[in-house]
Structure 1
Amino acid sequence: MAKILCVDDDPIAILIRRETLEVAGYLATSCSSVDEALRELERESYDAVVTDWRFSEESGRAIVHTAKSKWSIPVVVVTGYVGEAFQAAEPLADIYLEKPIDSRELIQILKILLEVRTDRVRSSRP
């Protein structure tokens, strides 16, 4: 069962996203701030991250950076500010989705990203 970290400062959005992921068979952990998400990424290993971009006074840049550069895990940014997120993030997330999102689309994208990651891990083993 893949573990997904969900990050959003909107309590309704995070509740819906977490529930959607759990119904699809994923183990989902939610965080409501950048700092909380960064602590969680240090504490636990995850297979993917689904994050918002804009938080009250911060961006999701640190979340994307940590997930991609330190752990090399797939990152999906779900935001109302796709252009801003795409231009600002380095390294880039795997995909940027405009809010509101279709839950089925998110699940399908995660499934593909996780399969690609699994295939890379398998092919890199001796």
Structure 2
Amino acid sequence: MKNKYTLMGDTICNKREKLPIFTSEDIAEADLFLYQVCNAYNLAESGNGLHRINWFPTCYIYVKNAPIEWEKMRSRQYYKKMMILFGVESLEELKKVVMKCQYNNEMKYQYSWDAAPAILNYIEIDEIGSLN
């Protein structure tokens, strides 16, 4: 039997998986990825109705593996792909946007030790684009 940390997280991750197309791990990783990317866009501050300031990554607690997308940004070839995702045109702009994606200790379930990780939990700003 799988762990049930939250009713909504359990329903989304464990009862909605469609094997072999996507697993519960895929769903949890996608939820965490979208939360991390949304922090960079400042959608709450811009008044965009697609993102509320209190949006919470419901499934983050079900993520088992660290997302490798952020660590890959060390590569010059890969960071250029990430520039498209973040809508920027230079390495410096990308670093500026990623700087907004900082760890928030309050972004966690009540009585939980671990908060949802941020992009900067996986890579330092100076490491972005540092490898050939």
What TM-score results when the alignment is normalised by the length of structure 1? 0.26
The answer to which structure, 1 or 2, has the higher relative contact order (CA under 8 A, 6+ apart) is 2
Greater fraction strand: 1
Choose 1 or 2 for highest CA Rg. 2
TM-score when scaled to structure 2?
0.25
